[in-house]
Chains A and B, each alone.
Chain A
Amino acid sequence: MAAFYSFMAVLALVFIAAIGAGSAGMYTLFGVAIPYVALLVFLAGFIYRIVYWAKSPVPFSIATTGGQQKSLPWIKNSPWDNPYTVTGTVIRMILEVVTFRSLFRNTKIDLRVDNVKVVYGSAKFLWLFALIFHMAFFTILIRHMRLFLDPVPACIQKIEFLDSILQVGIPTLYQTDLLILVGLTFLLLRRIVDVKVNYISLAQDYFPLFLLLGIAISGIYMRYFIKADVISIKELTMGLLSFKPALPEKALETTFFVHLFLVSCLLAYFPFSKLMHLAGVFLSPTRNLPNNTRRQHYTNPWNDPAIKPHSYAAYEDDFREKMIEAGLPVEKEA
């Protein structure tokens, strides 16, 4: 049900754009106004969310330790899984963000003894396809920078070259275009088919997947099927970027407006959704802090010095006679 609602919602968005920018011809609205608003919402929302999080302190340093601590010099420690320095923690974070290291922990191959068959559980696939999706998404994002930068920097051209290294098709196929579809499809199917994940899934888990699929498919359709006019599009984007928005002379395809509208929706939706895990992962105290609180002091801003232990004096008052009788030393003789 949740999946269905989400699908319908994305479908509705597609229609809104198709009708609005297609038949109704509201180019300025869909090509200029909405993207601006979306970007504004994105930036404001993003900053708001970060500030909202950052306003709360991290009272305790609660790293989840995933390896041997640093203690005695002759015991080998795990510098990344149980970092005690800032460097180690940074490496841990990088590995976490770039390779999804924690997710990879799942990925142990089950060796079945009975018939010596290697069985990969679904968790292994989760790591692989999540990584595929994110990497592809990231690469595509960078590739899109060519629309916003003039001249196109060499590094972006390099990435484009690498991404199309297989040199198949006209225009040449970007591997990431396929990969992002593969990744998204897997993540979506997993949510629907895997009963356990299905049980915990909410509408807001399906919605971004459908939205991203919509974006990817419309993008792919533009590039490979109707071969959209990139020069004109770049005219529009550069105009937007220089705050002199103007629609290009040549009319743009409806598909482009659908694509742009979906991206705008993604931008506007982003800060209020779980997609904020992008920023949240960096603020997660079980990962971004070193395990060094036995070495050095860590300050809790709201630590209340007024909270005192039940004092020794009160304790002794309570039990003095019995202590003396038992031969235990006391501070005050009775």
Chain B
Amino acid sequence: MAKLPPPEELVKINYSTPVKGWMDVPADFRPGTFSYPGKPDILKYLGFPNPREWSPTDADWKLPPDWREIIMKGFRERLDKYRSFKVFMDICVRCGACADKCHFYIGSGDPKNMPVLRAELLRSIYRGEFTVAGKILSRLAGARKLEEDVVKEWFMYFYQCTECRRCSLFCPYGIDTAEITMMARELLTLVGCNINWILEPAANCNRTGNHLGIQPHAYKDMMDFLCEDIETITGIHIEPPVNKKGAEILFITPSGDIFADPGIYTYMGYIMLFHELGLDYTWSTYASEGGNFGLFTSDTMMKKLNGKMYAEAKRLGVKWILGGECGHMWRVINQYMDTMNGPADFLETPVSPITGTRFDAAAGTKMLHIAEFTADLIKNGKLKLDPSRNANLRTTFHDSCNPARGMGLFEEPRYVLKNVCENFVDMPEETIREQTFCCGGGAGLNNEEFMEMRMRGGLPRGSAVKYVQEKNQVNTLVTICAIDRATLPPLCDYWAPGVQVAGLHELVANALVMEGEQERTMNMRQEPLPGFEDAEEEE
């Protein structure tokens, strides 16, 4: 009998990667795995070096002629500025404890997505250029020379890290690959290799106060638009104060929530809550962005963007600042803000005007998280809530990386959530709280061209959602992050179809019983409330 061809010959299967050391595997830029580079005019506006048209798939990246010196000088400067950088370069024992903790590695299987190897991409250059052993022994000491391919590899993998810090939690020395990624991105920026999805929002924030570059009148207009919706739902007409001098509290939240579904429902939730409380507060168009894409660019950009918050608080003469639901905004506020732009002596420690609670946890920055604020209100019985309006929702909670591992905000949002919705279950333990899995789109990677990679990185989160969807019939993933509200809907759509994404204060708004409201028949999304489904159909 003729020999049968082995079936896999039908298709050429690429059995495993070639058995090569990682230094010999060059970065392969396939669509879907990288973000588009920064546009020249944006770089010019920001005063960043080497503006030009280029693409990662080009052979020639048009680096400046002395790019090597620029990077080495930048490297040295950063070693001198950050002890973390020096220590993290020196003490990794390559134990591999962090290796399988990164969502990108879990989803893609690409070894260079192991946090330790991601860091080695930089460390190998550090050894090759800054240590004697590395210079003499080179390869044998894990060292290599800075070549153009290395820059390409950096661009690939440091823009495949969402700075989520999950690796740092498991490392015996707390080596934080996010910190290394930040350094690498700064170095890349020095030679003009950065991504547009970070730079354009940063530029917009600087000029107009928000990511999308919405001008003040349009911002106000959007707000009015949302207030019309609120009136439709509740029958209450609200005119939220904007740029109001002398208010007690300045409220700042990410601008993404005013423009896109499902963030707008949370945004409306804030307006309703503050109205119901009769809070003496104001919005600002100048500081209309809580998020800070400077965190993903450089420390100076971060400081510059963040500075607006205090500047506006001072100008308006408020007593303290309340911050909305956002992830990286809270990392910046909790760990960087006061250091960069404080001390904020002109403000007072936040005291809730409704309950009188003094929030000593915010005594330095004078900035309070809305989840803390609302939790305190509920605990003191100051809100009239009707959780039955959320009875059709079966919820679980996604801990965003930054409030989780850069702050430790776990119980407050859960407390609020449990009080506005009776059906709540947590996802499995190894996927929540400090061990939470990233949405796959943090640190400026929530752009649409990166979707494929985002889905890879989103698999661990997606699996956990799917698990509670199947086991507990969960249909709503609640989160306190504006980026999550943008990235989780496609993630759920792909990995756990049928689960929707909502903000915490959207659910608060659903449940909030307001004075003088009409009988509520629909939720914030203008879908019928439980018990009113038929009424809708009869119309």
Binding site for B on A (CB under 8 A): 2, 5, 49, 52-72, 74-78, 81-82, 84, 96, 100, 102-103, 105-106, 108, 123, 126, 130, 194, 196-197, 199-205, 272, 274, 276-277, 280-281, 283-287, 291-300, 302-304, 307-312, 315-316, 318-319, 322-323, 325-329
> A298 to chain B: which residues have CB within 8 Å?
338-339
Q: In the complex, are the beta carbons of A296 and B361 less than 8 A apart?
A: no
* Closest chain A CB from B50 CB (angstroms): 21
- Point out the residue from B87, B165, B215, B244 that lies within 8 Å of A284, measured CB to CB: B87
Count of A-B contacts with CB under 8 A? 297
> B311 to chain A: which residues have CB within 8 Å?
309, 311-312
Q: In the complex, are the beta carbons of A64 and B168 less than 8 A apart?
A: yes
- Point out the residue from B80, B361, B367 that lies within 8 Å of A55, measured CB to CB: B80
CA distance A299 to B339 in the complex (A): 6
Whether A194 touches B96, Cβ cut-off 8 Å, given contacts A66-B169, A312-B311, is yes
Q: In the complex, are the beta carbons of B176 and A64 less than 8 A apart?
A: yes
- Point out the residue from B172, B361, B408 that lies within 8 Å of A295, measured CB to CB: B361
Q: In the complex, are the beta carbons of B340 and A303 less than 8 A apart?
A: yes
- The residue of chain A having its C-beta at the shortest distance from the C-beta of B123 within the complex is A202
CA distance A247 to B195 in the complex (A): 67
Interface centre among A130, A201, A287 (most CB of B within 10 A): A287
CA distance A309 to B364 in the complex (A): 20
> A281 to chain B: which residues have CB within 8 Å?
91, 172-174
Q: In the complex, are the beta carbons of A284 and B335 less than 8 A apart?
A: no
Chain B 211-228 near chain A by CB (<8 Å), digits 1 or 0:
000011100110000000
- The residue of chain B having its C-beta at the shortest distance from the C-beta of A71 within the complex is B361
CA distance A293 to B362 in the complex (A): 9
Q: In the complex, are the beta carbons of A295 and B217 less than 8 A apart?
A: no
Query: Is residue B170 contacting chain A, with contact meaning CB distance below 8 A?
Result: yes
- The residue of chain A having its C-beta at the shortest distance from the C-beta of B305 within the complex is A309
B contacts with A, residue count (CB < 8 A): 106
CA distance A148 to B411 in the complex (A): 54
Whether A287 touches B173, Cβ cut-off 8 Å, given contacts A196-B114, A311-B311, A328-B217, is yes
- Point out the residue from B83, B304, B409 that lies within 8 Å of A310, measured CB to CB: B304
CA distance A307 to B303 in the complex (A): 7
Query: Is residue B95 contacting chain A, with contact meaning CB distance below 8 A?
Result: yes
- The residue of chain A having its C-beta at the shortest distance from the C-beta of B116 within the complex is A200
List which B233-258 residues lie within 8 A (CB) of chain A.
Answer: 242-245
Q: In the complex, are the beta carbons of B216 and A52 less than 8 A apart?
A: no
CA distance A333 to B169 in the complex (A): 53
CA distance A77 to B168 in the complex (A): 20
- The residue of chain A having its C-beta at the shortest distance from the C-beta of B221 within the complex is A326
Query: Is residue B434 contacting chain A, with contact meaning CB distance below 8 A?
Result: yes
Q: In the complex, are the beta carbons of B91 and A277 less than 8 A apart?
A: yes
- The residue of chain B having its C-beta at the shortest distance from the C-beta of A291 within the complex is B408
Query: Is residue B415 contacting chain A, with contact meaning CB distance below 8 A?
Result: yes
Knowing that A274-B92, A280-B91 touch, tell me 14 more A-B residue pairs with CB under 8 angstroms.
A56-B86, A59-B339, A71-B361, A72-B359, A130-B172, A197-B96, A200-B22, A204-B142, A272-B133, A285-B83, A297-B343, A309-B206, A328-B285, A329-B244
Q: In the complex, are the beta carbons of A196 and B434 less than 8 A apart?
A: no
CA distance A293 to B334 in the complex (A): 6
> B117 to chain A: which residues have CB within 8 Å?
199-200
CA distance A296 to B343 in the complex (A): 8
Q: In the complex, are the beta carbons of A64 and B169 less than 8 A apart?
A: yes
Q: In the complex, are the beta carbons of A200 and B120 less than 8 A apart?
A: yes
Closest 3 CB pairs of A and B: A309-B307, A69-B408, A280-B91
- Point out the residue from B174, B307, B404 that lies within 8 Å of A307, measured CB to CB: B307
CA distance A329 to B367 in the complex (A): 24
CA distance A323 to B433 in the complex (A): 42
